[in-house]
Structure 1
């Protein structure tokens, strides 16, 4: 109850700050919003060891909160959300922006996803300071706004990070090169998340750069990010997830493209995550037992490709995505022993097909229907221990609106 109260108070403060600034400067307060109402369930899964259930996690894909995953009961919690964006132009290039979002996966507790001051230094260079969206992906700026894309959800094999926002500063330089609009963004800050299965994790000394360009039919984007990851002991396993102390370096890179060729579109994005030391997970702990966690994730590679065709108000589409984490042995708990580890040199992986259709039945609303089929492509070590726990199909129907 204390956490919910604190969140609610922070949300009220956010609204109050933006409203106060707007009122003081006699500037107009602009309010925009979005909402998604989505219901879904799993419709098939692979035989699993006794006492376990197959689920499909969406918000984020490895969250420990049961409300963020579909199972064989119809649920509207994982992907139903509502958001309000408040902005006020104070003149002379200065503005303030806040975005409040409430999602079913977090019991609809309102959170301030954005709260920053923006200043246009000139027509090409912009500075921002405050809480902003981490620009990991092509769709980062509008991941919460379902109306902005053709899926019910972008493929969670790729877009599954538990970190959505950071507190810090950013600078963006925009220019034109021939018929290309280009931008270069850099940022510096910190972030934390307690939504994942590892408990509270912080990203310190977080920084990144994003280069993008677009013309009338093609959009290209590349990014690189790095941070010092700080985490508490893995709950229940009695050992730290990193080799030396509680902080290790990590990096993340992505490349994406989207082409619009008349009514036909095709897009793709590839991401790669790596750690200075392997990252121990609950899976490796369970397999390797009480002798110590001596295997963990070395690198994770994800990619997706999507295509569709716009036929008036209808947009049928199909997508394929994959996620693979490579495990290796290391001295994770600092005891001077590097065990062979039953997961060493193995891969934990999954592949997903998405088949769906979007129907724009209203200028501000879209109906979406989606079937998702995931296969577990993990090495035999994982399958022997856990069955094909990622083998699951889902069906979901949703309505997205903007206002």
Structure 2
């Protein structure tokens, strides 16, 4: 679907909704540019030595329609520069307000696996240009399914509790495909004054084509076929957790998040990313710094495979794949945000991330972010 179709579709949505319901249209966007300090490196999906205007740029349009009697419809369309501005539906769901403190949503919706999941794309809502990809690593952030959301008070604390169930199928820009089924998530958050505490449990079964089929087939033709089974991802179960906290008194900001995930006997293995971020406001300007660590350990055991010439090629190829999947790297970001307009902000950041060979690579980014 091209951009011209995007405009026509947006107009069509507005006209059809307006005919039957009270419709609210809103949108948000990020126009960014990034430049790596060194060629032949990759930081936050930037892998070109030239100035890149597409990787982090996008616009989104959201339509909310009140259908009366507790029923509403929400649709969100996003077009990203890295996808040549081809739009896609990121949200498309119906919501029913069962009671004042309980609603049910059915359709395509964001699954809140992170502190900032509810507004992951709305850069205007947080201090970074985008949350650190070293920590926010999931291949998916939305599902087609159902959720139940409860809000209630305990003293002065506001409690939000959610349950999600659904599935997702997607193909990444690098060609990797993912079939994610039986997604179940339980999310609890507590807001108390300037504090927000959040915890998430996530479980799903998935199959993925990471381009390793020849290597898998090679091992399966040997007496050590289990190695191929470990490298392949086929109907494997994933258990993930998230623990996060935000303190924001409109002067100081503190954010911390830890997201351990485990996939036994696979090339993915165990992930233990975490970050801590601190910001200080000076009028319309915020200065901030973030430090974190990205640790990934594949769980493929080659200890029982003998060191023989017949298996040397398979072993070398497997070692290379495991090395590319192994991370034990710190990163840091320093940046500034300037709210020069009531609906827009300018952001600038520098990120330093350790590479697989132990060297450091840097990324400079600037962005204009807006809501409308």
TM-score band, normalised by shorter chain: 0.7 to 0.9
1:40–1:347 distance in 2 versus 1, CA, 3 Å: closer
Alignment of 1:67-82 (within 5 A): 69-82=46-59
What is the rounded CA distance, in whole Å, between the counterparts of 1:393 and 1:307 in structure 2?
20
Tell me the distance in 1 between the aligned counterparts of 2:329 and 2:242: 19
Of the structure 1 ranges 227-236 and 10-19, higher mean CA displacement relative to structure 2 is found in 10-19
Q: Is the 2:61–2:78 contact (alpha carbons within 8 Å) kept by the matching residues of 1? A: yes
4+ residue segments displaced more than 3 Å? 7-19, 235-238, 240-245, 337-344
How many residue pairs get aligned? The number is 347
Report whether the alignment pairs 1:192 with 2:169.
yes
* CA-CA distance at 1:160 after TM superposition: 2.7
Aligned position for 1:20 = 16
CA deviation after TM superposition for structure 1 residue 9, in Å: 6.8
Residues of 1 paired with 2:32 and 2:7: CA distance?
A: 24
1:147 corresponds to which of 124, 133, 139: 124
- Which whole-Å CA distance do the structure 2 matches of 1:134 and 1:195 have between them? 18
Which residue of structure 1 lines up, in the alignment, with residue 328 of structure 2? 349
Matched with 1:283 is: none
Partner of 2:363: 394
Is contact 1:224-1:251 (8 Å) kept?
yes
Partners of 1:328 and 1:160 lie apart in 2 by: 18
Segments of 5+ residues of structure 2 without an aligned counterpart are: 218-227, 303-310
- Residue 44 of structure 1 aligns to a residue whose secondary structure is coil
Mapped to 1, the partners of 2:251 and 2:110 lie a distance apart of 30
Corresponding residue to 1:252 among 240, 243, 246 = 240
Cα distance, 1:326 vs structure 2: 1.1
Q: In 2, distance between residues paired with 1:267 and 1:99? A: 28
Matching residue of 1:39: 33
- Separation (CA, whole Å) in 1 of partners of 2:54 and 2:85: 9
In the alignment, is the contact (CA less than 8 A) between 1:224 and 1:254 conserved in 2? yes
* Match in the other structure for 1:287: none
1:17–1:313 CA distance, 2 compared to 1 (3 A): closer
Partner in structure 2 of residue 311 of structure 1: 282
SS of residue matched to 1:147: helix
C-alpha contact (below 8 Å) 2:63/2:74 kept by paired residues: yes
> 3-state SS of the aligned residue for 1:32?
strand
CA contact (8 A) 2:177 2:210 kept: no
TM-score, length basis structure 2: 0.85
Question: Does the aligned pair in 2 maintain the 1:54–1:391 contact within 8 Å?
Answer: no
Q: Deviations over 1:165-205 (max 9, x none)?
A: 11000000110011100011001100122116561111111
CA contact (8 A) 1:185 1:211 kept: yes
Counterpart in the other structure of 2:306: none
Please list the CA deviations of residues 121-157 of structure 1 after superposition, one character each: whole Å capped at 9, or x if unmatched. Answer: 0101100000001211011111111111111111111
Distance across 1 between alignment mates of 2:4 and 2:81: 15
Structure 1 residues 75, 347: closer, same or farther in 2, change over 3 A?
closer
C-alpha separation in 2, matches of 1:42 and 1:369: 14
1:272 maps onto 2:260 in alignment: yes
The whole-number CA distance in structure 1 between the counterparts of 2:15 and 2:212 is 41
Partner of 1:126: 103
- Asked if structure 1 preserves the Cα contact closer than 8 Å seen for 2:30 and 2:370, the reply is yes
Within 2, Cα distance between the matches of 1:144 and 1:152? 10
The answer (yes or no) to whether the contact 1:8–1:110 under 8 Å persists in 2 is: no
Q: CA deviation at 1:321?
A: 1.6
Within the candidate set 350, 354, 362, 1:375 is matched to 354
Q: CA deviation at 1:238?
A: 4.5
2:220 is matched with which residue?
none
> What secondary structure sits across from 1:95 in the alignment?
strand
> Is 1:203 the counterpart of 2:180 in the alignment?
yes
Deviation per residue, 1:16-71 (Å, 9 max, x gap): 46753441x3x2221101111111100136xxxxxxx212234xxxxxxxxxx242
Decide whether the 8 Å contact of 1:182 with 1:213 is kept in 2. yes
Counterpart pick for 2:342 among 363, 374, 377: 363
Is contact 1:41–1:70 with CA below 8 Å preserved after alignment? Answer: no
1:242 Cα offset (Å): 4.5
- Alignment partners' CA distance in 2, 1:402 and 1:327: 40
**Pairwise CA RMSD:** 2.7
